[in-house]
Structure 1
Amino acid sequence: MSYWWYRFMRRMMCYPYPYPPMPPPQPQPTPQTQQPQQTQQQPVSYQQPPPYPYSPYPVFYPPMPPPPLAPEEELAMLEDYKRALEEDLKALQDELKSVEERISELKELLKTRGKQYWRQENT
């Protein structure tokens, strides 16, 4: 069983919304100085941690494609996907061919320059 839908869905992937920045910290209350007349101690108050960042929108993960209803529909879908892959492959082969041509041009240029520089240094 091949997972052709994985490659198909990888192209269509929607990425989750980034989390918003953390809110600015709350100003700390200034500690009150104890006066010598008061012997009563204040209870220690604990600070609440800052709230966890939340996503303003729910994180959306695209659902898996439903199974095709009929073999004819699956065949048509696979043929379209194959056609798209062949176009991509053709574009990559053209790119590879142009890169190989440029490499051969540069090698020829270096060979001729190398001979010229060799002649200049020895004369």
Structure 2
Amino acid sequence: MKMWPYRFFRRLWFFFPPYPYFYYPPPQQYGPTQPQTSQAQQPQPQYYPPSYAPLPPPPPPTPEMELRMLEDYKKALEEDLEDLKEELKSVEERIKELKSFLEKGE
């Protein structure tokens, strides 16, 4: 008796979003391009796309996962900080070069 797929999907149905409903686009009206003044213009019905059920929030991370993510984030921030320090240093050097060039030129 192989009931495990049924039990598995029965418990997980809540986590999957429902299939979207098919909706028909507004009909194209082919007719005279000039508006006729003798007939009253009827308002066109509004067609809205289907709305989806909101997804459930993800489960909270375990403390081990959160620690690992924060350590990776810290490492990435430290690398970015080093890159920014190098860029700042090169900009300061260029400013000094331009100042000395302008002082010599005057």
Scaled to the shorter chain, the TM-score interval is 0.5 to 0.7
1:54 aligns with 2:42: no
Distance 1:114 1:23, change over 3 A: farther
With normalisation by structure 2, the TM-score equals 0.52
- TM-score w.r.t. the length of structure 1 is 0.46
How has the CA–CA distance of structure 1 residues 110 and 83 changed in structure 2, closer, same or farther, with 3 Å as cutoff?
same
Percent identity between matched residues is: 24
Gaps of 5+ in 1: 1-21, 34-43, 69-73, 119-123
Higher Cα radius of gyration? 1
Task: Name the counterpart of 1:83.
Answer: 71
Aligned residues: 80
SS in 2 for 1:47: coil
- CA RMSD, aligned part only? 3.5
In the TM superposition, structure 1's runs of 4+ consecutive aligned residues that sit over 6 Å from their partners are: none
Counterparts of 1:19-30 in structure 2, within 5 Å, are 25-28=28-31
In the alignment, structure 2 segments of 5+ residues that lack a partner are 1-24
Please name the residue that 2:91 is paired with: 103
